[in-house]
Structure 1
């Protein structure tokens, strides 16, 4: 056993209000394995990875590395982030050697080890280059070299390939896997946070799926495929489907919490309509991996759209498939004016936040934006409350249910009947 978490919990605070993100998280990472950590956007994946790395402390529970409690950045672990985070005034080798310098390694040894790591990751000849002279893929290779130069036993990857174009990401994943399988890394295990199901199946030995709110490990899915793995192989596709299915499962609850009633997915009306029309064109029921491929959507882009369609009563998501409801099919096939009317009807019937807001406007005539924001902040963190308010403005305007006045920053009903 290299790394384990026991009963880890974490909540963020806004003033005196806690907003739980993780609760009761238990996991184990063993020598010789790559573990993928999956979950919905905002579901705590990156927070958990930072807790494992010792970058932020848990509120409850503990993390142990080699049997010792992690109470700060742990020697023996390194992390690669989505953003390149290179110092623009330092050369490639100087950026790579920063971790060694922080550990007091002498200059000549720093230079030697940095050059070895740079060569290992495929950047020989670029040691003296500045970041501005590198492509995005090359910059991320520098990030990998910076992590690998300290010879970590556990390498943590936080969406490390997601900022790259698909071809570059595939090449870097392949090179990393070749180094891993060829025994050229001193790293004993990797933990990979990703929103890309194909990436998880291509690299990992098993996937841990964060579910619920606050999140915990809800599913563990083995990925027992030999390398190299062919994305066109039926077993590969079946595992991708299983991961999608796990991510669309919901916990059964007896009542909806107030914060759940106030949350709205980040989804523009135009994108929702386009997705509904795509579903209708494909027959009304579609496998989620196929839908993501058809629409060129990543999981973090697709799931908020699906949540919005479900919330509005236009679609159902189950067992890795999405199906338009009769109302959703009618909405996708209606004229633009009919679509607006149907959207308004479903907002008032299906979305409690809109029903409450519309009723308050009927009673008071005008509501200051700040008052609504403060009400949302009673149950949601401020950034989430502001995002929800932005969705309210867009959806309400499209549906013709409300008008937003920029000057007084207030909502009112339209002049004519809604």
Structure 2
């Protein structure tokens, strides 16, 4: 039986509000990391992947629950972890060797020993001969190798990685993933477990022994399962493709029970609070129209995995557009397949003015926030409402950053559909000029009559 290194028990993260309500980022979650496994965490933006990583490493304290390191509370334990971040985060004034030596120097290690260990790990990650180079002389891939070397030189028991390949080009990322896997499988590094946060589904299936998929608002485990495909893994095999497709289905059906998977362990929802507002996907009308036109070219239906592949999109790039089109009733998503609706077909085939009409009808019918903005404007004699009014309502449910993004998306959609306008200087929602002019003309006609 694998020994558990890190165990999280009912951990959650939330932020208190002036009212009795609170913004919950991560719902109560149980999670463990055992020796001998690579664990990959996937989830849409806003699902708390990085927040969870910081709590498991001890960088951030959970609002409730406890994290244990070898069954000791992490706050009092002698934790041995390293983190590789998305950005290279190197000291530009230090050489490659000095950058790798830095954490050992901070621990007070003697110069001869830290140099020996640093040179050894530089050789292991393919940087032998670049010891005297400075970061500015290296490519992005080589700088990230330095980041790996610096994390591994302290011989961490658990290596944490937060989207470490996302800033690299496709070929460089593929090469580094393969090399990391080789170091792990050959036990060239003493690390006992690897925990990687990623948004790349194929990357997770290529690397991980176990995959956790998070839902959002608040973050919670939707499914947690072992990957039984033996290494080396081939992207073209049926087993690989089926697993990638399964994860897409989980990610694109956030409000339903995840589909069945052999040997899968489905996480509990963690008591997510009832939502008053839908979380508006951060997609623009032009992106929605482009997606619908692409679906029409594919006979009105296609697998989201193939669509993303055709567009060279990552899942976080495509999902908000899919979610927005689904929210507006322009398409449906079933088991990972997106199918255009009759309204979506008309929208894709229409001229710009008719598209605005269709978008306006769909937005009013399906989006509570937009309906409330319109009603508030109509109820005011001056036909304007301060943005702060809706900000105060939204921030009872969302974080400050997400509240601002929700308002930005609502303004975008409302302006496009000519439901309302927004006076940025006064931060007020106002009646559109076109509608105001029509009302003025009607009033004049009534007076003349």
Bin for the TM-score computed over the shorter chain: over 0.9
- Distance in 2 between the 1:318 and 1:212 partners? 19
Shift of 1:73: 8.7
Partner of residue 178, structure 1 = 182
Q: What SS is found at the alignment partner of 1:239? A: helix
Counterpart mapping for 1:134-153 below 5 A: 134-153=138-157
8 Å contact from structure 2 (residues 48, 216) kept in 1? no
Instruction: Give the 3 Å change call, closer, same or farther, for CA 250–406 of structure 1 in structure 2.
Output: closer
Question: 1:269 maps to which residue?
Answer: 285
1:276-329: CA deviations, max 9, x gaps?
Answer: 111121122211210111122111112211221121111222322222222112
| Greater gyration radius | 2
Matches within 5 A, 1:18-417: 18-71=22-75, 75-251=79-255, 260-261=276-277, 263-364=279-380, 365-417=383-435
Distance 1:105 1:85 in 2: 22
Can you list the C-alpha shifts for 1:200-241, whole angstroms capped at 9, x where unaligned? 111011211123532222212321112111111111101100
CA shift, 1:339, in A, is 0.8
CA contact (8 A) 1:53 1:73 kept: no
TM-score, normalization by structure 1? 0.94
The 3 A distance-change label for structure 1 pair 46 and 368 is: same
Task: Report how many aligned residue pairs link the two structures.
Answer: 416
For residues 71-114 of structure 1, the C-alpha deviation after alignment (integer angstroms, 9 at most, x for no partner) is 17953211111111112122212221222122111122222211
Deviation at 1:368, TM superposition (A): 2.6
User: 1:377 offset after TM fit, Å?
Assistant: 2.5
Question: How big is the shift at 1:190?
Answer: 0.8
CA distance in 2, matches of 1:406, 1:57: 38
DSSP 3-state at the match of 1:2: strand
Does 173-182 or 101-110 show the bigger shift? 101-110
**RMSD over equivalenced CA pairs, Å:** 2.1
Runs of 4+ in 1 over 4 A off after TM superposition: 13-17, 256-260
- Aligned partners of 1:175, 1:275: CA distance in 2, in Å? 36
Give the Cα separation in 2 of the matches to 1:128 and 1:168.
22
Distance 1:51 1:25 in 2: 12
Consecutive unaligned residues in structure 2, runs of 5 or more:
257-268, 437-449
Whether the 8 Å CA contact 2:364–2:371 is kept in 1: the answer is: yes
Measure the CA separation in 1 of the matches of 2:122 and 2:76: 27
Report the CA distance between 1:165 and its aligned residue: 1.0
- Structure 1 residues 130 and 404: CA distance shift in structure 2, 3 A: same
